[in-house]
Amino acid sequence: MILTGDKEFYKGIGAITFEGKESDNPLSFKYYDPERKVMGKTMREHFKFAVAYWHSFCGQGGDPFGPGTQIFPWDKSSDPMKRAYDKADAAFEFITKMGFDYFCFHDVDLVDESESLSKNEKQLHEIGNYIALKQKDSNVKLLWGTANCFSNPVYMNGAATNPDFKVVARAGAQIKMALDLTISLGGENYVFWGGREGYMSLLNTDMSRELDHMGQMLSMARDYARAQGFNGSFFIEPKPMEPMKHQYDFDAATAIGFLREYKLDSDFKLNIEVNHATLAQHSFEHELTVAANAEMLGSIDANRGDNQNGWDTDQFPVNLYEVTEAMLVLLQTGGLKGGGVNFDAKIRRNSTDFDDIFHAHIGGVDTFARALITAEKILISSEYSSLRKNRYASFDTGNGNQFEKGSLTLEALSKIAFNDSPPKRTSGKQELFENIINQFI
């Protein structure tokens, strides 16, 4: 059901529905058919698509060279609460027109921060009540909430890792409020992206102490939320740099090591973002695989970077090849544990028509849907799985199998090599694998 408030913001645009790839209606899904089953699960269940409140309803498109270019009608009022209500109306109109089941937010996306923590708490509570009503009327759910502990200048030296305890305590207060709000809105997960948890220079930084503080904060947040009855997952969102020169949650492997060290690994999983993976010099499917291998693949922030530059451009996904490789990981490892696909992506600064945000999300959704369908076909009707499995066939029986089981000593291994004929040259067949993806797209 489409939810419009007192006034309609996206006039002339109705519900976006599946029309198939022959449709010439740009405001329709060509590949995403929510009820279509892929490997036994509907696409709706596979993806749990979510709209990111911050990019679509807050970000006005400013960059270091000029101010924003988006003129949002919900930003008109000088009263912050009125702006927050109007923005919520616009958000729920958009989410329901897209037919999405989920959204995600930072505390400060919902209502501007005020000059005091107690006023922030009051305002968040008020807008939270309004959003709860909207959720009830629309059935739209909260995929995850989070606290923005990086924009406010008080966090310029970090939040949980700030060298000043007063700032750490302030971050704790903000995280507690964001947890309360997330729990009260039935949030299924809670995210920590360590925006300024990292350093600019090691000369002035006690890394070991800062990491202990971060572990401490996450443990306290976990304990608090669990005591309030929250039984969803906590997600860490790795990113290697930007805004800090070095961020502590550099990539999936680093974050997993951290979570294990601080005994947070049974409550926390990872939220893997495409552009963060590429900034860490990895591929999206690499990060998904590392997380899935640790049984910590929780959620995805969908977007893409730009091959010609090295920062977080947060563009909407369009790369079928890249996303198909990612969907192969998802289908082979059992999918996302509790999370979904959140479009942490923004339209370009010069995309200023009010329908651009629809085209952007439709493109992202269809890219994921088409990639999922392609990945299913590859797994069901191509040689992909058997080719990959056969590369490791020498470990399925005999000495290889003994090695895998751990029943060979190094001496025994060495003896096998001395007695055996030398290894043959075996092709990795990379180009053949690459062509299979192309064939099925």
420 noted as active-site residue: no
Using the minimum distance from each CB to ligand XUL, give the nearer residue, 93 or 273.
Answer: 273
Nearest residue (CB) to ligand XUL, 146 versus 161: 146
Q: How far apart are CA 344 and CA 363, in angstroms?
A: 14
Q: How many residues bind Co ion (CB under 5 A)?
A: 3
249 binds ligand XUL (CB under 6 A): no
Catalytic residue selected from 46, 106, 213, 361: 106
AA identity, residue 230: F
Nearer to ligand XUL, 238 or 335 (CB): 238
Regarding 109 and contact with ligand XUL (CB under 6 A), the answer is no
Closest CB 308 distance from ligand XUL, rounded Å: 19
239 binds, among Co ion, ligand XUL, none (CB under 5 to 8 A by kind): ligand XUL
CB count, 10 Å around CB of 386?
10
Rule CB under 5 A: choose which of 93, 251, 267, 273 binds Co ion: 273
Neighbours of 342 (CB within 10 A): 25
Q: Decide if residue 146 touches ligand XUL (CB under 6 A).
A: yes
Per-residue binding string, ligand XUL, 270-289, x by CB under 6 A, is ---x----------------
How far is Cα 298 from Cα 365, in angstroms, rounded to an integer?
Answer: 19
Of the pair 271, 324, the CB lying nearest ligand XUL is at 271
Q: Which of residues 382-421 bind ligand XUL (CB under 6 A)?
A: none
Q: CB nearer to ligand XUL: give 193 or 384.
A: 193
Q: Which is nearer to ligand XUL, 301 or 322 (CB)?
A: 301
Binding region for Co ion (CB under 5 A) out of 297-305, 315-323, 354-362, 407-415: 297-305
329 HSE (CA, 13 A, CB side): 22
The answer to whether residue 301 forms part of the interface with Co ion (CB under 5 A) is yes
Identity at 270, one-letter amino acid code: L
Active site annotation includes 314: no
By CB under 5 A, the residues from 93 to 152 that bind Co ion are none
The binder of ligand XUL chosen from 30, 170, 213, 239 (CB under 6 A): 239
33 binds Co ion (CB under 5 A): no
- Interface residues with ligand XUL (CB under 6 A) are 106, 146, 191, 193, 237, 239, 273, 301, 312, 344
Active site residues: 106, 109
